[in-house]
Amino acid sequence: MAVLPIVEIPDPRLRLMCEPVDAIDDEVRQLSTDMIETMYAARGIGLAAIQVGVARRVVVIDLQERETEEPVEEAEAPEAVRDPKTYINPEILWVSDETSRYQEGCLSIPEQYAEVERPARCRVAWMDLDGQRHEEEMGGLLATCMQHEIDHLNGVLFIDHITRLKRDMLLKKLAKARKSAA
């Protein structure tokens, strides 16, 4: 188990097209375990492998681990509410015409948020860690998070979905925050 460092913009690895996983082996299982631990440590609700520097099509999601205003001690986060899922080679089969808007954030673009419009529902196929194929129609935050994560597998970031003006403002804010933290 390991908390891995998270790759942040403008790291060019975030723009790579990630490679499908062809065999679920110990390496993929270890990657999944480390990604889940890293996601919880960073208080994210999802994580794509490229965010820890691995250009493979692996995603972990746990919507329970919502970001909160107050920092919660690791020991206080009840294990019982944790329900991490690993999605291998996730693929979007269908999206709804209806859209929804969420205030999105990304662990690779720290502490910057913007409203993103995406299809409200999507049908996704994936493989689990046992090599079992699944297919499910998703809505709500799961649909948004899944689309955000699958974007990562294709080198796409949420800032690619907002206007240039909003993107430039967000990147300026990030540069300023990094400068004052340095």
- Tell me which residues are annotated as active site: 149
User: Residue with the closest Cβ to ligand GNR?
Assistant: 44
Which of 50, 152, 159, 161 lies at the binding interface for ligand GNR (CB under 6 A)?
152
Q: Which amino acid is located at 18 in the chain?
A: C
Gap between the Cα atoms of 136 and 92, Å rounded: 10
Which of 28, 31, 45, 127 lies at the binding interface for ligand GNR (CB under 6 A)?
45
- The answer to whether residues 125 and 91 touch, using CB atoms and an 8 Å cutoff, is yes
Question: Cα 156–121–114 angle (5° rounding)?
Answer: 45
Shortest Å, Cβ 130 to Ni ion: 26
Is 104 an interacting residue with respect to ligand GNR (CB under 6 A)? yes
34 or 149: CB nearest ligand GNR: 149
24 or 150: CB nearest Ni ion: 150
State the residues that interact with Ni ion by CB under 5 A.
Answer: 106
Shortest Å, Cβ 59 to ligand GNR: 8
**3-state secondary structure string across 86-128:** EEEEEEEEEECCCEEEEEEEECCEEEEEEEEEEECCEEEEEEC
Q: Which amino acid is located at 6 in the chain?
A: I
List contacts with ligand GNR (CB under 6 A).
Answer: 44-48, 51, 102, 104-108, 144-145, 148-149, 152
